[in-house]
Structure formats: structure tokens, C-alpha cells
Structure 1
Amino acid sequence: MQNVLNALRVLDEVAARQPVGVSDLARAVELPKSTVQRALLTLREAGWLRQTASGTAGRWVLTTKPLLLGRHASGELGLRDVAVPVMEDLRGRCDETVHLAVPEGGKVVLIERLETSQPVRIILPLGKNLPLHASANGKAVLAASTPEEIERHLTEELPRFTETTVTDADALREELAAIRARGYATNDGEWRTDVSATASAVLGPSGHPVASLSINIPSSRLTSESRAAHAELVREAAERIGAALGGGHGGRPGGTSGGRPGGGHSRRTP
């Protein structure tokens, strides 16, 4: 039983810190390196983890198996099946990275990503947690939530990630009201300074947000014209997904709100 518990602790820490090496993991879980190494090898054999480089010196990351299991548990496979064709159309119209995220445990979790063809792009790993108050996807979901859920979140600490992160509850209330009115949220370097995004909430049959859809762009490439175009595109795409799921309109007056996408980091590809 202890070996199973150790393996689960290691799995949790890899998910939180990936990519991560054995020494850092051992310090984090307060276990001997030999114990951590055995757990890693067991999890690799079971298909839960993989190494980013060959040999024991490689750093460890999750495979897609935990994400797939989570989708089965929460019904996200159905959401993804509906969303991906819409995301592909959206990416084709804007040629920027498109993210799909779902609310979970006071955050939003990235479950799908379609990348732009442009050499500088936003890269976030699947399974990444994004804060509700400092990401476009998060704000989209939060603005579409019930007043009670919003107030519950606003009573908690709102961590500052960059100089532009909104950490004042009253200021965030005002922004959420604006998101509901216009149907989309924006993020201009509030989680990562080099990332901007525009997002809208996807509403399920109950009228509650089941996901958020975002267009993510390096801040250096964002213009007022592209922001306006992205806002209309992502709002329309989120509404298409919501309608296919039997839900309503994401964030327009009379519905609920749109959101704002999470930050990441820019990467230049060859």
C-alpha cells in the first residue's frame, strides 16, 4: 500500500512541476531518490509518465493518459468531440493558437490546443491550470458563473502574477460585468507578460459555463484591429459549441458571459 501511495504522490508532483528531475521530485515529496526513481519507473511502465530525454538524467512529464482518464470522468470527451471541428475552423480564420479550457477546482484547465502556423506562438501544455482572475479563459468562466460563485471567488486571495494583474475585488467585479455585456474577455499580459488573449464562455444546457474558448497571441503581434476581429470570432465559435451541446449564448445580454484566455509563453520555432 505504501508503494502505491508513494507512486501517487510522485504522479501529483510531476503534474504540478513538469518537466521535473528526480532530485527535485525527491525534495518535493520528501522521499529518498531511490524510492522516487522506483515510483517513476513504475509509472512509466504503466503509461502515466515519460522522460523528455533518454537515460536516468531525463526530466519527467505526464503522458496523455491522465488527461484521457479525466475526460472520461467528467464527460469532456463529448465536449472535445463537439469543440475540435469548431476550433479548427476558428484557427483557420485567425491563424493564431486556439485553446479550450474547462472549469475545475477554482481554476480552468487546458484540455485542447490547436497551434498557429506562425513561427512565434503561444505554447501551453495540456492539463495546465490557469487562474480565474488573471487569464482570459478564467475570466470568461468566472463572468458566466452565478453571483454566488463569483462572490465566493472574490473573497479569496487574488494573487498577482504581473504588474497588470487585477487583484482588487471591486475592479474585478466591474470587469466581469463588462465581459457579460460584450460576450468576451481579454487578457493583456496579466498572467504572463508576453501573452495576450481573447476568450468567450461555452454554456451548457443548464446555462452554466462548461468550458471557455480562447484565441492566444504574443502581445507583440496584437493590434486593436486583430483584437476586435478575434473578439467576434471567438464569441461566435463559443456560441456554436454551446448550441451543439444544447446550451445558450456565451456572454451576451440575456445569456451569460464570455472570457479571457490564459497566458503562456512565446516560442519561436525553426
Structure 2
Amino acid sequence: MRPVELAFQLIELLSLHQPVGVSELARLAGIPKSTVQRSLMALHKTGWIELADADRPVWSLSMRALVASGRANYEHSVLRGIAIPVMEELRRESEETVHLTYRFERSLVLLERLDGIKPVRYFFPYGAVSPLHATSSGRAILSMMPQDELDAYLSQPLDAVTSLTVVDPEIVRSELAEARERGYAVTFGGNRSDVHAVGAAIVDRHAQPFAAISISAPAERLDASLAERYGPLVADAARRVTLGVTSQPHFH
């Protein structure tokens, strides 16, 4: 396999399995570990991938790769530009990690991340994909969906990402109704068992949810009472971003 072909294959595998190590990539690609290692070093040197964890050698796509792949199109660029100052305020108030995500079919994709300033925090790589029902941001989006879209989503099997992911469609429906009423959604270990999160949806000019903002923190630090305090802050942040994007003339 030529180096360019291998590089594209590894980028595709990274997009599906990130964060992932050299051994696993070699197994998935069916090629020697040493060959994969050389290609990864070249991709890292040119800025297409980055180390996803300071404590272990696993890789993820960089923002440069996401831009080149078309994930960060015009609307995503506008969204990021409007959201980042709001996210910075939210991080200052909470001192926790703040995520900006957008919907892609039945999933949520991480577009931007501002890491928290507290010593223990969790890392989700750019481009990370999660089921909507497993995350606070995804649930916030689901709670704002038209009824027919929500019915269609819940009519299909809901994957359990962790042992704490709620997959009973009727329970999910009930919890989404509560989220819609209060303006934000909460998950306790749904996408990662040791992470709790609070998220709120960003909607377009037609009131359709397409993105979300969330605060994520270790489970021992973000309990139910703190989630209630963060909820209105996240909901207000999402409202401000919504006002910003809907004021753009070429934004859907």
C-alpha cells in the first residue's frame, strides 16, 4: 500500500474509533504496527492528528482534519465563532469542561471543547461521535425535536453506551419531557459511566435543534444539586448562541 493510501485509511479509521492506539489501528488496518507507527508520525508532524491523552499513547483527529473533511463547513465555522466567547464565560463560572456539539443524523459530534481548569477532568477528542440519547446535549436536542422526528428516533433500538445509559424508550420519552420543560437535560453516566453532564439545545431560525452546549465533569464533582445550579446557566448560554446564529443572514 502506498503511503498516501495508508494515510487516508488511518484517518478514516481514526474518525470511527478515536481515541485509538497504534496496536489497535494496526489490527483494524491489517498491516504491521511499525508501518502504522511511521504513518502516524507523518500525520502528526503535518498536523492531521494529535495525541488524545497525556497519560497514554492514543490518537485522535485534529481540528485541521475536521476542517478538511468538511465537518467544519461555513455554518459550523459561524457557530464556533459565536459560541466560543459564550463557552468561555460558562467555563469561568463553572471551572469545568464545556463542549459544543452538533447533530448528525442519530448522533452527536464534538465540534469544540474548552477544557476545565480544575485538576481532574475528562477528555473527549474533536470529532467524537455519541448517540443522541446517551448524552445531555443529545437529549436536549431530542427534547426539542418535532414529535414525529422524536417518535422515529425512539422507534429504533437505543444502544447502551454504558451500564447507566437509559435505553427504555418510554423512560427516555418521559425524561425528555422534563428536559423540555426546564430548558436543559442532565445525564449521569450515560455516555461515560464516570462523567455527569448538563446540556441545552441551540436551535435555528425555524426552532429546529441542531447543536448544543454542555458542561461535563467527573461524577463525584457534579451531583444532582450542582446540575440544578448549572442547568439555567447552560440554558442561557444556548439561548445566547441561538440568538447569535439566527441573526446571521446566510445561516439556516
Q: Which range, TM-score by smaller chain?
A: 0.7 to 0.9
Q: Distance in 1 between matches of 2:106 and 2:136?
A: 14
Q: Distance in 2 between matches of 1:148 and 1:19?
A: 35
SS at match of 1:103: strand
The total of aligned residue pairs comes to 243
CA contact (8 A) 1:140 1:201 kept: yes
Q: Distance in 1 between matches of 2:136 and 2:239?
A: 16
Runs of 4+ displaced beyond 6 Å: none
Mean Cα displacement is larger for which, 102-111 or 29-38? Answer: 29-38
Mean Cα displacement is larger for which, 66-75 or 231-240? Answer: 66-75
**Superposition deviation, residue 198 in structure 1:** 0.8
Gaps of 5+ in 2: 248-252
Q: Distance in 2 between matches of 1:243 and 1:235?
A: 12
CA contact (8 A) 2:137 2:201 kept: yes
CA contact (8 A) 1:71 1:77 kept: no
Identity %: 38
Gap change, CA 1:115 and 1:24, over 3 Å in 2: closer
Q: Which residue identity lines up with residue 62 of structure 1 in the other structure? A: L
**Superposition deviation, residue 21 in structure 1:** 4.0
Q: Which residue identity lines up with residue 159 of structure 1 in the other structure? A: D
Gap change, CA 1:233 and 1:35, over 3 Å in 2: same
Q: Distance in 1 between matches of 2:51 and 2:191?
A: 28
Name the residue aligned to 2:66: 67
Name the residue aligned to 1:260: none
Q: Distance in 2 between matches of 1:160 and 1:224?
A: 22
Gaps of 5+ in 1: 248-270
Residues 99-248 of structure 1 correspond to what in structure 2 (within 5 A)? 99-246=99-246
Mean Cα displacement is larger for which, 38-47 or 195-204? Answer: 38-47
**Superposition deviation, residue 41 in structure 1:** 5.8
Higher relative contact order (CA 8 A, sep 6+): 1
Gap change, CA 1:10 and 1:198, over 3 Å in 2: same
**Superposition deviation, residue 44 in structure 1:** 4.6
Q: Distance in 2 between matches of 1:217 and 1:144?
A: 24
Gap change, CA 1:33 and 1:218, over 3 Å in 2: closer
Q: Which residue identity lines up with residue 63 of structure 1 in the other structure? A: S
**Superposition deviation, residue 7 in structure 1:** 3.3
**Aligned-residue CA RMSD (Å):** 2.6
